[in-house]
Amino acid sequence: MDFSSVELITFDCYGTLIDWETGMLAALRSLFPDHAHISEEKFLSMYGEIEARLEAGPYLSYRTVLSRTAEEMGRSLGVKLSAEDCQQFAESLKQWPPFSDSVESLQALAKHYRLGIISNTDDDLFAASQKLLQTDFALIVTAQQVQCYKPSVVNFYEAIKRSGIPKDKILHAGQSLYHDIAPANILRLRNVWVNRRFGKQGPGATVAGDAKPGLEVRSLAELAAVMIPAG
């Protein structure tokens, strides 16, 4: 893939820049302390299935999606969670950590490209994550702003419109084949699959997808190595 014309790289946030599975699992384990026998993959797949269903319906804030997902997981596990418990899970997102290579790689890429975000989240939740990422973004498109969730192409159209440049000068990078690579392909938007789950079983907390990315890397550091000109 030729990247010579790229001026803007847009990123998915949670799963790509923020290690949401680590943060999510820690929060879920604290919600369900009597279910230590349930595997990480089971927790993640339960989360992913419920979240995708809620996001596919009438628009709800992401904070509400997180709270209701926790509530439905509790119901499936025979645990009645309080509204406070569910809210606490939603608020835990603000502490979910960046991947170890995210901050350094973003700062290196920012010296050569404009950077953007297309994320299924609320503005204030992303603001907390942005502080952890220590990066300024030229554009930020959240689900709250467009009132819908990826894999809708609406989120991507909005980012392209705000960028002020032709889409052939944009590269989108994301961890989810379902949420990011598939809609990018529909729009013929150049894309990179940041396969953070390489070597692991299943799609984790996302929905399984079969979209074919323009390029696959296993980390943000690998993407930076590909994108930053030598010398």
Find the CATH number of the domain harbouring 67: 1.10.150
Predicted pLDDT at 230: 77
pLDDT at 147: 98
Per-chain mean pLDDT for the chain: 96
Query: What average pLDDT score do residues 216-227 get?
Result: 97
Residues 197-203, mean pLDDT to the nearest whole number: 91
Q: What is the pLDDT of residue 58?
A: 97
61 and 109 together in one domain:
no
Give the closest residue to 40 by CA, choosing from 21, 54, 56.
21
Which residues are identified as catalytic?
12
Residue 156 shares a structural domain with residue 203: yes
Choosing from 73, 95, 117, the residue where a domain stops is 95
The predicted model gives 184-209 an average pLDDT of: 95
pTM, full prediction: 0.96
One domain, residues 41 and 137: no
161 and 55 inside one domain = no
Domain match, 31 and 122 both: no
One domain for residues 145 and 63: no
Q: Please name which of 110, 112, 149, 155 lies closest in space to residue 133, comparing C-alpha atoms.
A: 110
What share of the chain in percent tops pLDDT 90?
A: 94
Is position 2 within any domain?
no
User: What CATH number corresponds to the domain at position 137?
Assistant: 3.40.50.1000
Q: Is 120 in the same domain as 203? A: yes
**Neighbour count for residue 193 (Cβ, 10 Å):** 24
Please state the domain count of the chain: 2
What's the pLDDT score for residue 231?
Answer: 64
Residue with tokens 């973003």: 106
Final residue before a domain boundary, out of 38, 70, 95 = 95
Poorest-pLDDT segment among 33-37, 125-129, 141-145, 165-169: 33-37
Q: What is the pLDDT of residue 189?
A: 97
Q: Tell me the per-residue pLDDT of 148-166, one tens digit each, with 9 for 90 and over.
A: 999 999 999 999 999 999 9
Q: How many CB atoms lie within 10 A of CB 24?
A: 25
Clarify whether residues 187 and 120 are in a common domain. yes
Confidence of residue 3 (pLDDT cuts 50, 70, 90): confident
Q: Are residues 133 and 159 in the same domain?
A: yes
Q: Are 194 and 173 in contact (CB under 8 A)?
A: yes
- Mark whether 87 and 103 lie in a shared domain: no
For 53, the token pair is 């269903």
Short-list 97, 100, 141, CA closest to 122: 141
Same domain, 79 and 135: no
Q: Among 95, 115, 137, identify where a domain stops.
A: 95
For 83-140, the pLDDT digits (tens) are 999 999 999 999 999 999 999 999 999 999 999 999 999 999 999 999 999 999 999 9
